[in-house]
Amino acid sequence: ASAAEEKDLVIIGGGVAGYVAAIKAGQEGMKVTCIEKRGTLGGTCLNVGCIPSKSLLNNSHLYHQILHDSKHRGIEVGDVKLNLKQLMKAKEQSVSGLTKGVEFLFKKNGVEYIKGAGAFQDEHTIKVQLNDGGETSVKGKNILIATGSEATPFPGLEIDEQRVITSTGAIALEKVPEKMVVIGGGIIGLEMASVWSRLGSQVTVVEFLDQIGGPGMDTEIAKSAQKILKKQGIIFKTGTKVVSGDKTGELVKLEVDSAKGGKPETIEADVVLVAIGRRPYTGGLGLENIGLELDERGRVIIDSEYRTKIPHIRCVGDVTFGPMLAHKAEEEAVAVVEYIKKGYGHVNYGCIPSVMYTFPEVAWVGQSEQDLKKAGIKYRVGTFPFSANSRAKTNLDTDGMVKMLADPETDRLLGVHIIGPNAGEMIAEGTLALEYGASSEDIARTCHAHPTLAEAFKEAAMATYAKAIHF
């Protein structure tokens, strides 16, 4: 390609990080190309992550609720049957609608989309193995690495996506396993455990730490989540590590051991889900051709403006530092294009919400109580239970609470932690408050509509500096 054809920005990876950067760059009038090898846009999130998992969570919850939580509401149903094929079809419909939507947005914003695998030939040239066969190359003034992440495998237990699966297999099982063991009680583990347990599987979650929920979840909230999920039928083995696995027999066997040492035990399952985290993905990218190094965890090293040590090559999303979340990737994608175009951009890493889409949902933003203790930061706590909230009472969904942490001197909000129905929507208010540097009193003096679950949020804020009215 001649210099005249050089693009302003070439993006490798069409996941949330890559496709959002491409759209933003198009909107900014840049000539932009996005290379994606999957065959569809949207990456892990749209194809095998956030979106399909939330479809299964929503519909498995409905099924479970109709079966076990409708009679006392005055709804009597006849024969309730699971049609797993249709459940999966509904999921695929949501996914394809959204991935095609991104393709439409590419056209609308003048983004060139190349279907193929990209690799660095030199610092400005990407060679692409086209999905349809053949090869092409594209040059960029700026290049963005947005190649995402992949599931971390469990040593000695080969993934076949049938009996030993990652989340990709877990969103596509063709029948409900009688017994399922989940290695890792993080967000993926608990969301998938919920889906299959609701559909009738006996699910055991083995978690190395004493606490479920993965990194960041407030300990008090995590304990409450574990209690509620246990009531729903999920078996937990916390403080337990999987030592080895064997899938040569009819059932998959796992050797588990107390994390602190103790007597080992064998557990068996039809299906084992490996959900012990994800790792950055740079396979086949040809980083060696340009001398880019990774850190000890395989992440592309960048500075605060997303630049690698080669300044026109930048990197955002799961493949670099920070929490592996779609909305974090999206924020970075917008910021990196602004850095390239205008020289400034911004992401507030202290203010990225997390949501676990179980029932009830768990959501948080800012610091947890254990974070604050560890950092020696003084704080005040205000809590409000949903059992005292009128809307939760009318909905007969009263499990959970809102917990707020604030600075004892300035009253500035430090963290918000919610377990309860719709927590994932409610956390947006906490995130906005934290972003604006609100005090708990600011929130408590803001009028909230009645009857809403959000009133629990207001009352928890009140309880932080004074007393809640309804509890």
Question: What is the binding site for ligand NAD (CB under 6 A)?
Answer: 183-189, 191, 206-209, 214-215, 241-242, 275-278, 323-325, 355-357
Q: Rounded to the nearest whole angstrom, what is the least distance from the CB of residue 159 to ligand FAD in the complex?
A: 13
- The interface partner of residue 12, options being ligand NAD, ligand FAD, none and the CB cut-off 5 to 8 Å by kind, is ligand FAD
Q: Rounded to the nearest whole angstrom, what is the least distance from the CB of residue 307 to ligand FAD in the complex?
A: 17
Question: 416 - beta bridge partners?
Answer: 365, 404
* Closest CB to ligand NAD among residues 263, 342: 263
- The interface partner of residue 30, options being ligand NAD, ligand FAD, none and the CB cut-off 5 to 8 Å by kind, is none
Tally helices (H) and strands (E) across the chain. Answer: 13, 21
Q: Which residue is nearest to ligand NAD (CB)?
A: 186
Residues involved in catalysis = 450
Q: Rounded to the nearest whole angstrom, what is the least distance from the CB of residue 183 to ligand FAD in the complex?
A: 15
* Closest CB to ligand FAD among residues 129, 370: 129
DSSP 8-state class, residue 458: H
Compute the residue count for the chain: 471
**Nearest Cα to 299, choosing from 89, 95, 149?**
149
- The interface partner of residue 275, options being ligand NAD, ligand FAD, none and the CB cut-off 5 to 8 Å by kind, is ligand NAD
Structure tokens at 398: 């009263």
Q: Are 281 and 192 in contact (CB under 8 A)?
A: no
- The interface partner of residue 26, options being ligand NAD, ligand FAD, none and the CB cut-off 5 to 8 Å by kind, is none
* Closest CB to ligand FAD among residues 287, 438: 287
* Closest CB to ligand FAD among residues 221, 461: 221
Alpha carbons 105 and 20: distance in angstroms, whole number: 10
Helix (H) / strand (E) element for 102: namely: helix 84-108
Q: Rounded to the nearest whole angstrom, what is the least distance from the CB of residue 70 to ligand NAD in the complex?
A: 27
- The interface partner of residue 15, options being ligand FAD, ligand NAD, none and the CB cut-off 5 to 8 Å by kind, is ligand FAD
Torsion of Cα atoms, 111 then 112 then 115 then 116, to 10°: -110
- The interface partner of residue 241, options being ligand FAD, ligand NAD, none and the CB cut-off 5 to 8 Å by kind, is ligand NAD
Question: Which residues touch 156 (CB under 8 Å, ≥6 apart)?
Answer: 244, 245
- What is the contact surface with ligand FAD in residues (CB under 6 A)? 12-18, 35-38, 43-45, 49-50, 53, 117-118, 146-149, 167, 188, 281, 284-285, 317-318, 324-327, 329
Residue owning tokens 């990209």: 118
* Closest CB to ligand NAD among residues 50, 463: 50
* Closest CB to ligand NAD among residues 126, 326: 326
Alpha carbons 269 and 254: distance in angstroms, whole number: 8
β 135-145/313-315 pair status: parallel
Question: 235 - beta bridge partners?
Answer: 204
Q: Rounded to the nearest whole angstrom, what is the least distance from the CB of residue 149 to ligand FAD in the complex?
A: 5
Alpha carbons 356 and 424: distance in angstroms, whole number: 8
- Number of neighbours of residue 33 by Cβ within 10 angstroms: 23
Residue owning tokens 């569809």: 40
Q: Rounded to the nearest whole angstrom, what is the least distance from the CB of residue 183 to ligand NAD in the complex?
A: 5
